[in-house]
Amino acid sequence: MHLKLFEVAGTHLFSMSSIVIVLFFVFAIIVVGYLLGKITIKGVSLGTAAIFLVALFVGHFKGVAFGDNGIAAWVADTEAVDAVNFYFKLIQSFGLILFVTSVGLIAGPTFFKNLKKNAKSYVLLGAVIILSGAAVCAAVTLLVPEMNSAMSVGLLSGALTSTPAFAAAQEAIGESSPVFKEIAVGHAVAYPFGVIGVVLFVQIVPKVLKANMAEERAKLTSVDTGEESPLKQKKLFEMDKFGLGAFALTVLTGAILGCINIPLGAGSFNLGTTGGPLIMGLVFGHFGRIGKLSMKVNKHLLEVFQEWGLVLFLIGAGVDGGAGFVETLQKYGPLLFLWGALMTTIPLFIGFFLAKKVLKLSLFNNLGSITGGMTSTPALGALINTSGTPNVASAYAATYPIALVLVVLASQFLTYLYQIFYSTFCSLRQSTLHSLCQSTLHSFCNHLIYCTTHIDSSILILYIFFQFQHSFA
Protein backbone atom coordinates (compact mmCIF):
# COMPACT_ATOMS: atom_id res chain seq x y z
CA MET A 1 0.00 0.00 0.00
CA HIS A 2 1.45 3.32 -1.10
CA LEU A 3 0.20 6.87 -1.30
CA LYS A 4 1.45 8.27 -4.61
CA LEU A 5 0.98 11.82 -5.86
CA PHE A 6 2.16 14.14 -8.67
CA GLU A 7 3.10 11.78 -11.45
CA VAL A 8 5.51 13.33 -13.93
CA ALA A 9 6.96 11.36 -16.83
CA GLY A 10 6.01 8.06 -15.21
CA THR A 11 7.53 8.99 -11.84
CA HIS A 12 5.62 9.96 -8.72
CA LEU A 13 7.23 12.98 -7.10
CA PHE A 14 5.70 12.10 -3.74
CA SER A 15 5.08 8.62 -2.28
CA MET A 16 4.56 7.16 1.19
CA SER A 17 4.81 3.50 2.19
CA SER A 18 2.39 1.93 4.67
CA ILE A 19 4.77 2.26 7.63
CA VAL A 20 5.42 5.93 6.82
CA ILE A 21 1.67 6.56 6.56
CA VAL A 22 1.19 5.01 10.00
CA LEU A 23 3.99 7.09 11.54
CA PHE A 24 2.67 10.23 9.85
CA PHE A 25 -0.78 9.76 11.38
CA VAL A 26 0.63 8.83 14.80
CA PHE A 27 2.47 12.13 15.09
CA ALA A 28 -0.35 14.08 13.46
CA ILE A 29 -2.78 12.67 16.06
CA ILE A 30 -0.37 13.69 18.84
CA VAL A 31 -0.07 17.28 17.60
CA VAL A 32 -3.82 17.82 17.04
CA GLY A 33 -4.70 15.94 20.23
CA TYR A 34 -2.45 18.04 22.45
CA LEU A 35 -3.80 21.26 20.90
CA LEU A 36 -7.38 20.09 21.46
CA GLY A 37 -6.52 18.97 25.00
CA LYS A 38 -5.44 22.52 25.88
CA ILE A 39 -9.00 23.81 25.42
CA THR A 40 -10.39 24.43 28.92
CA ILE A 41 -14.06 24.90 29.80
CA LYS A 42 -14.71 26.04 33.37
CA GLY A 43 -11.40 24.64 34.50
CA VAL A 44 -11.92 21.20 32.91
CA SER A 45 -10.00 19.95 29.89
CA LEU A 46 -9.54 16.61 28.17
CA GLY A 47 -5.76 16.89 28.39
CA THR A 48 -4.00 13.84 27.00
CA ALA A 49 -7.35 12.06 26.58
CA ALA A 50 -8.12 14.43 23.68
CA ILE A 51 -5.64 12.32 21.72
CA PHE A 52 -8.11 9.44 22.04
CA LEU A 53 -10.89 11.52 20.41
CA VAL A 54 -8.64 12.51 17.53
CA ALA A 55 -7.58 8.87 17.14
CA LEU A 56 -11.26 7.83 17.01
CA PHE A 57 -11.80 10.35 14.22
CA VAL A 58 -8.79 9.06 12.27
CA GLY A 59 -9.87 5.48 12.95
CA HIS A 60 -13.28 6.17 11.43
CA PHE A 61 -11.74 7.35 8.15
CA LYS A 62 -9.26 4.48 8.25
CA GLY A 63 -12.28 2.16 8.38
CA VAL A 64 -13.86 4.01 5.46
CA ALA A 65 -10.65 3.87 3.39
CA PHE A 66 -10.21 0.13 3.96
CA GLY A 67 -13.92 -0.75 3.90
CA ASP A 68 -15.99 -2.31 1.14
CA ASN A 69 -16.43 1.05 -0.57
CA GLY A 70 -12.95 2.34 0.21
CA ILE A 71 -9.91 3.07 -1.93
CA ALA A 72 -9.86 0.17 -4.37
CA ALA A 73 -6.08 -0.18 -4.60
CA TRP A 74 -5.73 -0.21 -0.80
CA VAL A 75 -8.61 -2.62 -0.19
CA ALA A 76 -7.16 -5.04 -2.75
CA ASP A 77 -3.78 -5.02 -1.01
CA THR A 78 -4.82 -7.23 1.91
CA GLU A 79 -1.26 -7.72 3.14
CA ALA A 80 -0.79 -3.97 3.51
CA VAL A 81 -4.14 -3.60 5.26
CA ASP A 82 -3.17 -6.34 7.71
CA ALA A 83 0.22 -4.67 8.21
CA VAL A 84 -1.39 -1.30 9.04
CA ASN A 85 -3.73 -2.95 11.56
CA PHE A 86 -0.77 -4.79 13.08
CA TYR A 87 1.26 -1.57 13.39
CA PHE A 88 -1.49 0.17 15.34
CA LYS A 89 -1.98 -2.87 17.58
CA LEU A 90 1.76 -2.91 18.23
CA ILE A 91 1.72 0.81 19.06
CA GLN A 92 -1.15 0.25 21.50
CA SER A 93 0.53 -2.68 23.27
CA PHE A 94 3.93 -0.98 23.40
CA GLY A 95 2.40 2.17 24.84
CA LEU A 96 0.45 0.23 27.46
CA ILE A 97 3.57 -1.60 28.65
CA LEU A 98 5.55 1.66 28.85
CA PHE A 99 2.81 3.34 30.86
CA VAL A 100 1.99 0.64 33.42
CA THR A 101 5.66 -0.24 34.01
CA SER A 102 6.46 3.41 34.66
CA VAL A 103 3.47 3.71 37.00
CA GLY A 104 4.59 0.60 38.89
CA LEU A 105 8.17 1.80 39.32
CA ILE A 106 7.00 5.26 40.44
CA ALA A 107 4.43 3.91 42.91
CA GLY A 108 6.53 0.97 44.11
CA PRO A 109 8.40 2.70 46.99
CA THR A 110 5.09 3.70 48.64
CA PHE A 111 2.72 1.00 47.43
CA PHE A 112 3.00 -1.66 50.13
CA LYS A 113 2.74 0.87 52.96
CA ASN A 114 -0.45 2.25 51.45
CA LEU A 115 -1.80 -1.25 50.78
CA LYS A 116 -1.14 -2.35 54.36
CA LYS A 117 -3.08 0.64 55.70
CA ASN A 118 -6.08 0.47 53.32
CA ALA A 119 -6.10 -3.11 51.97
CA LYS A 120 -9.65 -3.94 53.06
CA SER A 121 -10.98 -0.66 51.67
CA TYR A 122 -9.31 -1.23 48.30
CA VAL A 123 -10.58 -4.81 47.98
CA LEU A 124 -14.12 -3.81 48.97
CA LEU A 125 -14.17 -0.79 46.68
CA GLY A 126 -12.85 -2.73 43.69
CA ALA A 127 -15.43 -5.46 44.28
CA VAL A 128 -18.34 -3.03 44.65
CA ILE A 129 -17.43 -1.11 41.48
CA ILE A 130 -17.23 -4.25 39.33
CA LEU A 131 -20.30 -5.92 40.87
CA SER A 132 -22.42 -2.79 40.45
CA GLY A 133 -21.38 -2.64 36.79
CA ALA A 134 -22.24 -6.32 36.43
CA ALA A 135 -25.63 -5.69 38.07
CA VAL A 136 -26.42 -2.95 35.54
CA CYS A 137 -25.31 -5.29 32.76
CA ALA A 138 -27.58 -8.07 34.05
CA ALA A 139 -30.53 -5.68 34.31
CA VAL A 140 -30.00 -4.47 30.74
CA THR A 141 -29.76 -8.06 29.53
CA LEU A 142 -32.99 -9.11 31.24
CA LEU A 143 -35.14 -6.03 30.75
CA VAL A 144 -34.23 -4.41 27.42
CA PRO A 145 -36.09 -5.88 24.43
CA GLU A 146 -33.91 -7.55 21.79
CA MET A 147 -30.88 -7.43 24.10
CA ASN A 148 -28.82 -10.55 24.76
CA SER A 149 -25.98 -11.15 27.16
CA ALA A 150 -23.35 -11.21 24.40
CA MET A 151 -24.13 -7.62 23.43
CA SER A 152 -24.53 -6.42 27.02
CA VAL A 153 -21.29 -8.04 28.22
CA GLY A 154 -19.54 -6.43 25.27
CA LEU A 155 -20.96 -3.13 26.50
CA LEU A 156 -19.68 -3.88 30.01
CA SER A 157 -16.14 -4.66 28.84
CA GLY A 158 -16.12 -1.46 26.80
CA ALA A 159 -17.63 0.62 29.63
CA LEU A 160 -14.85 -0.61 31.95
CA THR A 161 -12.24 -0.41 29.15
CA SER A 162 -11.25 -3.99 29.96
CA THR A 163 -9.70 -6.05 27.17
CA PRO A 164 -9.35 -9.14 29.47
CA ALA A 165 -13.11 -8.99 30.14
CA PHE A 166 -13.76 -8.73 26.40
CA ALA A 167 -11.57 -11.77 25.71
CA ALA A 168 -13.13 -13.73 28.58
CA ALA A 169 -16.64 -13.10 27.25
CA GLN A 170 -15.64 -14.26 23.77
CA GLU A 171 -14.08 -17.42 25.18
CA ALA A 172 -17.09 -18.17 27.38
CA ILE A 173 -19.73 -17.80 24.68
CA GLY A 174 -17.72 -19.48 21.89
CA GLU A 175 -17.33 -18.67 18.21
CA SER A 176 -20.08 -21.12 17.28
CA SER A 177 -22.70 -18.98 19.03
CA PRO A 178 -24.96 -16.96 16.67
CA VAL A 179 -24.41 -13.87 18.84
CA PHE A 180 -20.62 -14.16 19.11
CA LYS A 181 -19.91 -11.08 16.96
CA GLU A 182 -22.22 -8.91 19.04
CA ILE A 183 -19.67 -8.94 21.89
CA ALA A 184 -17.30 -6.92 19.70
CA VAL A 185 -20.13 -4.59 18.66
CA GLY A 186 -21.04 -3.79 22.27
CA HIS A 187 -17.39 -3.29 23.23
CA ALA A 188 -16.80 -0.86 20.35
CA VAL A 189 -19.88 1.23 21.19
CA ALA A 190 -19.21 1.57 24.94
CA TYR A 191 -15.43 1.96 24.86
CA PRO A 192 -15.18 5.68 23.90
CA PHE A 193 -17.42 6.86 26.74
CA GLY A 194 -15.70 4.37 29.06
CA VAL A 195 -12.47 6.29 28.43
CA ILE A 196 -13.75 9.86 28.27
CA GLY A 197 -16.34 9.49 31.05
CA VAL A 198 -13.86 8.45 33.73
CA VAL A 199 -11.26 10.96 32.54
CA LEU A 200 -13.77 13.80 32.93
CA PHE A 201 -15.04 12.42 36.26
CA VAL A 202 -11.64 12.56 38.00
CA GLN A 203 -11.20 16.15 36.82
CA ILE A 204 -14.71 17.43 37.54
CA VAL A 205 -15.11 16.00 41.07
CA PRO A 206 -12.30 18.10 42.65
CA LYS A 207 -13.81 21.19 40.98
CA VAL A 208 -17.32 20.45 42.23
CA LEU A 209 -16.07 19.77 45.77
CA LYS A 210 -13.84 22.87 45.60
CA ALA A 211 -11.02 20.74 46.96
CA ASN A 212 -7.87 22.29 48.34
CA MET A 213 -5.40 20.50 46.07
CA ALA A 214 -2.34 21.19 48.24
CA GLU A 215 -4.18 19.88 51.31
CA GLU A 216 -5.33 16.76 49.49
CA ARG A 217 -1.79 16.09 48.26
CA ALA A 218 -0.55 16.44 51.84
CA LYS A 219 -3.12 13.85 53.02
CA LEU A 220 -1.97 11.47 50.33
CA THR A 221 1.70 12.04 51.12
CA SER A 222 1.16 11.42 54.84
CA VAL A 223 -0.20 7.98 54.02
CA ASP A 224 2.02 7.06 51.13
CA THR A 225 5.50 8.35 51.69
CA GLY A 226 6.20 8.28 55.40
CA GLU A 227 9.21 6.01 55.50
CA GLU A 228 10.09 4.61 52.13
CA SER A 229 11.98 1.35 51.94
CA PRO A 230 15.55 2.37 52.78
CA LEU A 231 18.22 0.71 50.67
CA LYS A 232 21.46 -0.09 52.39
CA GLN A 233 24.09 2.34 51.31
CA LYS A 234 26.25 -0.05 49.35
CA LYS A 235 27.62 0.06 45.84
CA LEU A 236 25.13 -1.48 43.41
CA PHE A 237 25.85 -2.47 39.83
CA GLU A 238 24.06 -0.22 37.33
CA MET A 239 23.59 -1.33 33.74
CA ASP A 240 23.44 2.27 32.50
CA LYS A 241 23.24 5.76 33.97
CA PHE A 242 19.54 6.30 33.08
CA GLY A 243 18.18 2.94 34.23
CA LEU A 244 17.02 1.85 30.77
CA GLY A 245 18.40 -1.64 31.37
CA ALA A 246 16.53 -1.91 34.67
CA PHE A 247 13.35 -0.71 32.96
CA ALA A 248 13.77 -3.29 30.20
CA LEU A 249 14.32 -6.06 32.77
CA THR A 250 11.15 -5.00 34.57
CA VAL A 251 9.18 -5.18 31.31
CA LEU A 252 10.75 -8.56 30.46
CA THR A 253 9.86 -10.18 33.78
CA GLY A 254 6.43 -8.51 33.77
CA ALA A 255 5.63 -9.88 30.33
CA ILE A 256 6.56 -13.39 31.52
CA LEU A 257 4.38 -13.02 34.62
CA GLY A 258 1.51 -11.74 32.49
CA CYS A 259 1.63 -14.84 30.27
CA ILE A 260 1.09 -17.31 33.14
CA ASN A 261 -2.43 -18.74 32.78
CA ILE A 262 -4.46 -19.55 35.88
CA PRO A 263 -7.44 -21.92 35.37
CA LEU A 264 -10.66 -20.08 36.13
CA GLY A 265 -14.05 -21.65 35.58
CA ALA A 266 -14.49 -22.81 31.99
CA GLY A 267 -11.50 -20.79 30.81
CA SER A 268 -8.35 -19.27 32.23
CA PHE A 269 -7.10 -15.95 33.54
CA ASN A 270 -3.80 -14.13 33.21
CA LEU A 271 -2.52 -10.68 34.17
CA GLY A 272 -1.64 -9.87 30.56
CA THR A 273 0.42 -6.92 29.38
CA THR A 274 -1.26 -4.66 31.92
CA GLY A 275 -1.11 -6.58 35.19
CA GLY A 276 2.23 -8.37 34.70
CA PRO A 277 4.47 -5.33 34.09
CA LEU A 278 2.50 -3.30 36.65
CA ILE A 279 3.09 -5.83 39.44
CA MET A 280 6.77 -6.34 38.60
CA GLY A 281 7.17 -2.55 38.46
CA LEU A 282 5.69 -2.32 41.97
CA VAL A 283 7.97 -5.08 43.28
CA PHE A 284 11.19 -3.72 41.74
CA GLY A 285 10.19 -0.17 42.58
CA HIS A 286 9.71 -1.21 46.21
CA PHE A 287 12.95 -3.13 46.68
CA GLY A 288 15.07 -1.09 44.26
CA ARG A 289 17.45 -3.92 43.48
CA ILE A 290 17.96 -7.61 42.74
CA GLY A 291 20.90 -8.66 44.87
CA LYS A 292 23.69 -6.29 43.85
CA LEU A 293 21.93 -5.24 40.63
CA SER A 294 20.32 -1.80 40.89
CA MET A 295 16.75 -1.57 39.60
CA LYS A 296 16.54 2.19 40.01
CA VAL A 297 15.32 4.12 36.97
CA ASN A 298 15.86 7.84 36.47
CA LYS A 299 12.77 9.72 37.70
CA HIS A 300 12.60 12.03 34.68
CA LEU A 301 12.89 9.06 32.32
CA LEU A 302 9.93 7.41 34.08
CA GLU A 303 7.86 10.58 33.71
CA VAL A 304 8.63 10.71 29.98
CA PHE A 305 7.83 7.00 29.52
CA GLN A 306 4.61 7.41 31.51
CA GLU A 307 3.33 10.21 29.24
CA TRP A 308 4.67 8.70 26.02
CA GLY A 309 3.22 5.30 26.84
CA LEU A 310 -0.21 6.75 27.59
CA VAL A 311 -0.18 8.69 24.32
CA LEU A 312 0.73 5.63 22.24
CA PHE A 313 -1.88 3.50 24.01
CA LEU A 314 -4.64 6.05 23.35
CA ILE A 315 -3.67 6.30 19.68
CA GLY A 316 -3.78 2.54 19.15
CA ALA A 317 -7.02 2.08 21.08
CA GLY A 318 -8.70 5.06 19.40
CA VAL A 319 -7.81 4.13 15.83
CA ASP A 320 -8.97 0.56 16.42
CA GLY A 321 -12.21 1.61 18.15
CA GLY A 322 -13.09 4.29 15.61
CA ALA A 323 -12.99 2.02 12.57
CA GLY A 324 -16.60 0.85 12.88
CA PHE A 325 -18.01 3.18 15.53
CA VAL A 326 -20.32 5.29 13.34
CA GLU A 327 -21.61 2.32 11.35
CA THR A 328 -22.34 0.40 14.57
CA LEU A 329 -24.35 3.29 16.03
CA GLN A 330 -26.28 3.66 12.79
CA LYS A 331 -27.12 -0.05 12.76
CA TYR A 332 -28.03 -0.55 16.42
CA GLY A 333 -29.22 2.93 17.38
CA PRO A 334 -28.10 5.46 20.00
CA LEU A 335 -29.80 3.59 22.87
CA LEU A 336 -26.97 1.06 22.75
CA PHE A 337 -24.57 3.89 23.55
CA LEU A 338 -26.81 4.93 26.47
CA TRP A 339 -26.74 1.45 28.05
CA GLY A 340 -22.94 1.46 27.85
CA ALA A 341 -22.78 4.93 29.40
CA LEU A 342 -24.93 3.71 32.32
CA MET A 343 -22.50 0.83 32.89
CA THR A 344 -19.74 3.44 33.23
CA THR A 345 -21.47 6.14 35.29
CA ILE A 346 -23.41 4.05 37.85
CA PRO A 347 -20.33 2.16 39.16
CA LEU A 348 -18.42 5.46 39.18
CA PHE A 349 -20.89 7.21 41.48
CA ILE A 350 -21.50 4.16 43.69
CA GLY A 351 -17.75 3.67 44.14
CA PHE A 352 -17.12 7.35 44.83
CA PHE A 353 -19.80 7.72 47.51
CA LEU A 354 -18.85 4.40 49.14
CA ALA A 355 -15.21 5.50 49.39
CA LYS A 356 -16.16 8.98 50.63
CA LYS A 357 -19.00 8.24 53.08
CA VAL A 358 -18.28 4.69 54.30
CA LEU A 359 -14.57 4.00 53.81
CA LYS A 360 -13.56 7.61 54.58
CA LEU A 361 -10.76 7.68 52.02
CA SER A 362 -9.12 11.00 51.20
CA LEU A 363 -10.13 12.54 47.86
CA PHE A 364 -7.06 11.49 45.87
CA ASN A 365 -7.00 8.02 47.42
CA ASN A 366 -10.69 7.81 46.54
CA LEU A 367 -10.24 8.85 42.90
CA GLY A 368 -7.08 6.77 42.51
CA SER A 369 -8.95 3.72 43.75
CA ILE A 370 -11.80 4.42 41.35
CA THR A 371 -9.46 4.56 38.35
CA GLY A 372 -8.12 1.16 39.44
CA GLY A 373 -11.61 -0.22 40.10
CA MET A 374 -12.74 0.96 36.66
CA THR A 375 -9.49 -0.51 35.19
CA SER A 376 -9.02 2.86 33.44
CA THR A 377 -5.42 3.56 32.45
CA PRO A 378 -6.24 6.89 30.71
CA ALA A 379 -8.10 8.13 33.80
CA LEU A 380 -5.04 7.44 35.95
CA GLY A 381 -2.98 9.59 33.59
CA ALA A 382 -5.59 12.38 33.86
CA LEU A 383 -5.66 12.09 37.66
CA ILE A 384 -1.88 12.32 37.92
CA ASN A 385 -2.01 15.56 35.94
CA THR A 386 -5.01 16.91 37.89
CA SER A 387 -3.64 16.07 41.34
CA GLY A 388 -0.09 17.13 40.54
CA THR A 389 1.40 14.01 42.15
CA PRO A 390 2.19 10.50 40.87
CA ASN A 391 1.44 9.09 44.35
CA VAL A 392 -2.21 8.56 43.33
CA ALA A 393 -0.89 5.55 41.40
CA SER A 394 -0.55 3.64 44.69
CA ALA A 395 -4.33 3.56 45.15
CA TYR A 396 -4.81 2.61 41.50
CA ALA A 397 -2.31 -0.23 41.77
CA ALA A 398 -3.90 -1.54 44.98
CA THR A 399 -7.43 -1.67 43.56
CA TYR A 400 -6.61 -2.74 40.01
CA PRO A 401 -5.76 -6.45 40.62
CA ILE A 402 -9.01 -7.31 42.42
CA ALA A 403 -11.01 -5.36 39.83
CA LEU A 404 -9.22 -7.19 37.01
CA VAL A 405 -10.02 -10.61 38.46
CA LEU A 406 -13.65 -9.74 39.19
CA VAL A 407 -14.39 -8.16 35.81
CA VAL A 408 -13.12 -11.30 34.06
CA LEU A 409 -15.27 -13.49 36.32
CA ALA A 410 -18.28 -11.23 35.86
CA SER A 411 -17.95 -11.29 32.08
CA GLN A 412 -17.77 -15.08 32.02
CA PHE A 413 -20.73 -15.42 34.38
CA LEU A 414 -22.95 -12.93 32.57
CA THR A 415 -22.43 -14.58 29.19
CA TYR A 416 -24.03 -17.68 30.67
CA LEU A 417 -27.26 -15.72 31.15
CA TYR A 418 -27.89 -16.15 27.44
CA GLN A 419 -27.64 -19.93 27.74
CA ILE A 420 -29.49 -20.16 31.08
CA PHE A 421 -32.41 -17.84 30.47
CA TYR A 422 -32.77 -17.60 26.69
CA SER A 423 -35.63 -20.08 26.46
CA THR A 424 -37.72 -17.97 28.84
CA PHE A 425 -36.74 -14.48 27.58
CA CYS A 426 -39.50 -14.01 25.02
CA SER A 427 -42.37 -14.86 27.38
CA LEU A 428 -40.86 -13.12 30.40
CA ARG A 429 -40.30 -9.84 28.57
CA GLN A 430 -44.04 -9.66 27.95
CA SER A 431 -44.78 -10.07 31.67
CA THR A 432 -44.38 -7.58 34.52
CA LEU A 433 -41.04 -6.74 36.16
CA HIS A 434 -42.27 -8.45 39.34
CA SER A 435 -42.88 -11.80 37.70
CA LEU A 436 -39.56 -11.53 35.86
CA CYS A 437 -37.63 -11.05 39.09
CA GLN A 438 -39.44 -13.94 40.80
CA SER A 439 -38.75 -16.42 38.01
CA THR A 440 -35.05 -15.58 37.60
CA LEU A 441 -33.83 -14.71 41.08
CA HIS A 442 -33.35 -18.29 42.30
CA SER A 443 -31.27 -19.41 39.30
CA PHE A 444 -29.30 -16.16 39.33
CA CYS A 445 -28.34 -16.65 42.99
CA ASN A 446 -27.23 -20.25 42.41
CA HIS A 447 -24.83 -19.17 39.68
CA LEU A 448 -23.68 -16.20 41.74
CA ILE A 449 -22.75 -18.57 44.57
CA TYR A 450 -20.80 -20.73 42.10
CA CYS A 451 -18.95 -17.68 40.79
CA THR A 452 -18.23 -16.42 44.31
CA THR A 453 -16.30 -19.57 45.16
CA HIS A 454 -13.94 -18.75 42.31
CA ILE A 455 -13.74 -15.11 43.35
CA ASP A 456 -12.69 -16.17 46.86
CA SER A 457 -9.88 -18.31 45.50
CA SER A 458 -8.71 -15.48 43.24
CA ILE A 459 -8.68 -13.01 46.12
CA LEU A 460 -6.64 -15.52 48.14
CA ILE A 461 -4.05 -15.72 45.35
CA LEU A 462 -3.78 -11.93 45.25
CA TYR A 463 -3.62 -11.69 49.04
CA ILE A 464 -0.74 -14.19 49.14
CA PHE A 465 1.13 -12.18 46.52
CA PHE A 466 0.69 -8.90 48.41
CA GLN A 467 1.91 -10.55 51.61
CA PHE A 468 5.00 -11.72 49.73
CA GLN A 469 6.85 -8.51 50.53
CA HIS A 470 6.69 -9.12 54.30
CA SER A 471 9.12 -12.00 53.97
CA PHE A 472 11.78 -9.48 52.98
CA ALA A 473 11.04 -7.05 55.83
Question: What pLDDT, in 10s, does the model give residues 307-340?
Answer: 898 888 888 877 876 776 677 677 777 788 889 8
Name the least confident of 37-51, 300-314, 372-386. Answer: 37-51
Helices within 174-242 (DSSP H only): 181-208, 213-224
Contact 382, 202 (CB under 8 A): yes
* 375: DSSP letter: T
335, burial (CB in 10 Å: exposed 0-12, middle 13-18, buried 19+)? exposed
Torsion angle (degrees, nearest 10) of CA 336, 271, 111, 346: 20
- Helix (H) / strand (E) element for 240: namely none
User: 365 pLDDT band (50/70/90 cuts)?
Assistant: confident
Percent of the chain with pLDDT over 90: 10
Q: Is the pTM of this model over 0.85?
A: no
Contact 243, 297 (CB under 8 A): yes
Contact 412, 420 (CB under 8 A): no
Rounded CA-CA distance 419/424 in Å is 10
Residue-wise pLDDT tens digits, 117-175: 767 888 888 889 999 999 998 888 888 877 777 888 888 988 888 766 776 677 667 66
Contact 375, 404 (CB under 8 A): yes
CA of residue 279 relative to chain centroid, distance: 15
SS3 for 229? Answer: coil
Q: What DSSP string runs through 317-336?
A: HHHHHHTTHHHHHHHH-HHH
Q: Which amino acid is at 303?
A: E
Rounded CA-CA distance 25/216 in Å is 39
Residue-wise pLDDT tens digits, 290-305: 888 888 899 899 989 9
Contacts (Cβ under 8 Å, ≥6 apart) of 267: 168, 171, 172, 412
